[in-house]
Structure 1
Amino acid sequence: MSADDRRAQILDAVTPAVLEHGAAVTSRQLADAAGVAEGTLFKAFGDKESLLAALVERHMTDAEPDLDLRADSVADVVASLVPVVVERMRFMFRLVMALGPIAQRVAAERRDDFERSKRCIAARFEPFAHDLRVTPLVAADVLRTLAWAAAASWGDDEPVSSVDDIMQVLLHGIVAAPGDEPRAGADPERRPDASALEPVEA
């Protein structure tokens, strides 16, 4: 096994311990999680903070969604992408919350990787650009923004937005069409007429 492969193996092995203990995780806990001696960790990474930074970098540079996409429509693209991106965003949110300034510093340094992930998602939309009201890059940006909102929960104990909610908004917007069944929590008596929401020509 090469040195890089060994480092990657250690980072994958210690990830659950880091998510549990955050930046306060000890070198002993990291070594136990990796099944190696503490000296092996120091030899591979130098010190604990360097190891934690390398862990964040490893996860942040995994830019392209890992899926086998066979899409015949925009709906297929959205249905395939959203669950994967939301799950990834939830993981990254946990990592940022666990490691605080270390994760934020690495994220700032790896901004290009984050932008590349957006371009990877946009490429999934490209074959269906003629069916979109926005460019594929804007579609990718909106998808990631909604996924991050669902992952972060914005301080709520449970996410307000579900995967299905995100798919509905991406494909149909937030305005119900005439005849749609009210969704949970909706007040059908207060639903505006769809025609009232149509743009008015000057």
Structure 2
Amino acid sequence: MGRASPLPPDARRQTIIAATRPLLIASGTQFTTRQVAEAAGVAEGTIFRVFESKQDLLTAVIEDALDPADLCARIRDTPPEPTLAGRVSSLITLLREDIGAINAMVSALHVTPSCASPTHRGHQPAHQHRALAVRDALIDALAPFAEQVRVPLPQAAAVIRAMAMASGHPMLADPDLKDPATLAEVIVDGIHTTSEESNADQAD
């Protein structure tokens, strides 16, 4: 049996990054490059032909996690929904999954603050770029329902993202809003009841 063809440089780099992320989450920055090599299915020396150092690899993993391209693509590819509430619920689910993955990485980095903090602070501009990119993707996803939204779509997108982030944060999450569909209904319908709804509730 012949040897498998070597991966192209970009694919090899991404394979190593993908193999490193769960090790970082599990062990903080205490993971070893030997562990990365085993997880990625490459020789340990290959890692240092792609990355100059372990710190260089760590920086690449963080940059990859903050890159909004994958999340934005998934937001724009959200399956069609018949209702605005259904679309918002799907978007909240995607945003919470992404927030959970980033929170796990941040928690792992906080295990060793001396290594993690400078890198984390250094990526503040990436956070700003990410926020704008995700907002634009949310606007595109909401566009089919534009006539049903009474506020500008950028504002609606900002509210959805803020609510998803807050409700997905471990210190802020409320069990009453755990279900994305429930949170979506609150966002879409608000907390204000109409006189007709109030009268119907009293009649019941």
TM-score by length of 1: 0.76
- Matched residue, 1:32: 38
How many residues align? The count is 180
**Residue 169 (structure 1) aligned with residue 183 (structure 2):** no
Of 21-30 and 80-89, the range deviating more from structure 2: 21-30
- Give 1:89-108 correspondences, 5 Å limit: 89-99=99-109, 100-101=116-117, 102-108=119-125
Q: Distance in 1 between matches of 2:172 and 2:127?
A: 26
* Aligned-partner Cα distance in 1 for 2:83–2:177: 23
Gapped regions of structure 2 (runs ≥ 5):
1-6, 110-115
Partner of 2:72: 64
Hey, what's the Cα distance between the residues in 1 that align with 2:29 and 2:172? 21
Q: Which has the higher helix share?
A: 2
Partner of 1:185: none
Partner of 2:3: none
RMSD value, Cα = 2.6
Going from structure 1 to structure 2, the CA distance change for 1:34 and 1:12 (only over 3 Å counts) comes to same
Relative contact order: is structure 1 or structure 2 higher (C-alpha 8 Å, sep ≥ 6)? 2
Match of 1:47 in 2: 53
Contact 1:64 1:120 in 2 (8 A): yes
Q: Deviations over 1:73-111 (max 9, x none)?
A: 322321321211111111111122222423443353353
1:1-202 alignment, distance < 5 Å? 1-61=7-67, 62-66=70-74, 67-99=77-109, 100-101=116-117, 102-109=119-126, 111-154=128-171, 161-162=177-178, 163-175=180-192, 178=198
Whole-Å separation in 2 of the counterparts to 1:26 and 1:83: 33
Q: CA deviation at 1:11?
A: 1.1
Q: Distance in 2 between matches of 1:159 and 1:40?
A: 46
Provide runs of 4+ in structure 1 moved above 6 Å.
Answer: none
Q: Deviations over 1:9-47 (max 9, x none)?
A: 111122211111122323233233223333221211111
Partner of 2:113: none
- The change in CA–CA distance for 1:172 and 1:65 in structure 2 (over 3 A counts) is farther
Amino acid of the structure 2 residue aligned with 1:23: T
Identity of aligned residues (%): 28
CA contact (8 A) 2:84 2:145 kept: yes
Alpha-carbon separation, structure 1, partners of 2:175 and 2:26: 20
Which residue identity is paired with 1:76? G
Cα distance in 2 between the residues matched to 1:13 and 1:85? 23
